[in-house]
Amino acid sequence: MTSVGSIRADVTRRLLIFAALFAVVGTACSVQELPPVDFGQDRRFVPTVADSQDDVGLGSAVAVAEDDTVFVSSMSFPEVLKEGQVASLRPIGAPFLPAVALTSITPDGIFSRGAVEQDKPEFEPNGVEPPFRPAKVPGYDLTRANGNGTDVAIGPDGTIHVVWAGADGIYHATTKVGGSSTVDQVFDYGSSLTVAGPIGRPSVTLDGAGSPWVAFGVSTTDGVDIVVATPGAKGWDTRTVATAASCNGCPPPLPTGITTAGDVPVVVFADPAGTVRSVHLDGKDWVEEPVADGAAAGLAVATDGDTAYASYYREDGKVAVSAYSGGTWTSVDVADAPFPDVTTGLEAPTTDVAAASGKVAVTWQDADAVRLATGDGATFTTEETTGTAGGTRPSVGMSADGNSIALAWVSAENTDLMVGILGDPKDLLVANPSPAPTVSIAPVAPTGCGDDKKIDLEISASGST
């Protein structure tokens, strides 16, 4: 064999560096044109997988911003592996788990999968941040057993508010698209829980000034306290606005909902003793009104101007929606559904309700699928929800004009976060790539893209290795 020469190792490394640099900049200069999928122009339900990495979508809540971007808060955990199964690698820029996740879907189908709080690993990539730049907690104590759900609301200035029940209390985070998350503790339980129950699933609403109001239930030695928290001069101010007496065999605090009716805060809760109750703020006092008799579970609330709505499972096998207006509640049965065997924690079946522009949407799960019904609050029609067979734990949001509805749920076969949009999908782009993770790289010499989309690059690499 004839030797034709050799290349020094440092030269080889330089060539590899230059090749990688050309590839990165070349990708930045290229234009990806993805053809849209034409779904026609009829109103229909379009399901999609919003997140499938590990166990995701648990304890979800949905809010829709003024620009129709859908935001889904939830809890994400490492996948529980079977014997011999190998964990899949998480993408660069994905949140480290466990995490309180936040997923956004723009009207043209762009997904951003991030978080507001996550585990801080021992090693993490430099300069790469998940969307919404989550707060990082070393040894994050959040599990499928002790987590108890999330809620999300969008402020008029685009601020995203997320609340959740963690191992030792209630937490609140704020973030914005392209911004960083700030997390503070709303309520400290005083000890760390191994299982959910003593702290109920929380709810958040915003007042006219965009300030958050958070409501939740807490077990005490005397029963259940229904607590409302608002930001104060030195942290969060909390106040017990109602109580439920303890009883033998009563479940722990069930989900508590807070919303507004004509800018008046309204809190709705399922008394573990077997009624649905509400309180509203009248001056400085909280005034109680009964909502419905009988045990209830999976409660959620929404508002549409002067009217507040509550959805829940009823013990007689019905899903009901109650409406509050003018100081009184009226209720209507929506559909048949089994009363949940589990009423607290991330495995508990949920209902959810959304309202806007005189339109109301309610979701629930039955023995076969996730269901969705729409109407005016007095009458409802069940919608076709293709792809939700076997799905569980749904949540729902609605655009400001009421024409688009976003439904989130957990898939049947895998613990995946699914999102379906009910509306006119003519402009919907399917399978668009998620935005690339935010990467901080030291600046290089100025570059540009020519008319032929090739790189104008001047490189100086004296002494590189």
- 3-class SS at 443? coil
Q: Is the pLDDT of residue 205 over 70?
A: yes
Domain edges within the chain: 7-32+437-465, 44-81+89-432
Residue 92's pLDDT is: 85
Helix (H) or strand (E) segment spanning residue 135: strand 135-138
Question: Which amino acid is located at 189 in the chain?
Answer: Y
Residue 424's pLDDT is: 80
pLDDT band at 380 (very low <50, low <70, confident <90, very high): very high
Given a contact cutoff of 8 angstroms between Cβ atoms, the answer to whether 277 and 254 are in contact is no
Per mean pLDDT, which of 34-43, 304-313, 441-450 is the most reliable?
A: 304-313
For the CA atoms of 440, 442, 443, 445, what is the dihedral angle to 10 degrees?
A: -140
Given a contact cutoff of 8 angstroms between Cβ atoms, the answer to whether 342 and 348 are in contact is yes
Given a contact cutoff of 8 angstroms between Cβ atoms, the answer to whether 272 and 250 are in contact is yes
Q: How far apart are CA 125 and CA 148, in angstroms?
A: 30
Q: Is the pLDDT of residue 219 over 90?
A: yes
Angle, vertex CA 168, rays to CA 162 and CA 171, nearest 5: 15
Helix (H) or strand (E) segment spanning residue 116: strand 111-120
Sign of the alpha-carbon torsion through 410, 412, 415, 418: negative
Q: How far apart are CA 44 and CA 386, in angstroms?
A: 9
CATH fold of 44-81+89-432 reads Neuraminidase (2.120.10)
Q: How far apart are CA 50 and CA 48, in angstroms?
A: 6
- 3-class SS at 317? coil
Pick from 409, 246, 269: which is nearest to 344 by CA?
269
Pick from 248, 354, 340, 265: which is nearest to 301 by CA?
354
Average pLDDT over residues 134-152: 97
Residue 425's pLDDT is: 63
Return the beta strands (E) in 305-391 as ranges.
307-314, 318-325, 328-336, 352-356, 359-365, 370-375, 380-382
Backbone φ, ψ for residue 29 (5° rounding): -80, -25
pLDDT per residue over 239-297, tens digit each? 999 998 777 778 889 999 999 999 999 999 999 889 999 999 999 999 999 999 999 99
Backbone φ, ψ for residue 6 (5° rounding): -140, 160
pTM of this prediction?
Answer: 0.84
Q: How far apart are CA 103 and CA 403, in angstroms?
A: 21
pLDDT band at 23 (very low <50, low <70, confident <90, very high): very low
Q: How far apart are CA 432 and CA 415, in angstroms?
A: 22
Q: How far apart are CA 426 and CA 421, in angstroms?
A: 12
Q: How far apart are CA 319 and CA 106, in angstroms?
A: 31
Any bridge partners for residue 313, and if so which?
297, 319
pLDDT band at 84 (very low <50, low <70, confident <90, very high): confident
Q: How far apart are CA 465 and CA 461, in angstroms?
A: 9
| Percentage, residues of the chain above pLDDT 70 | 82
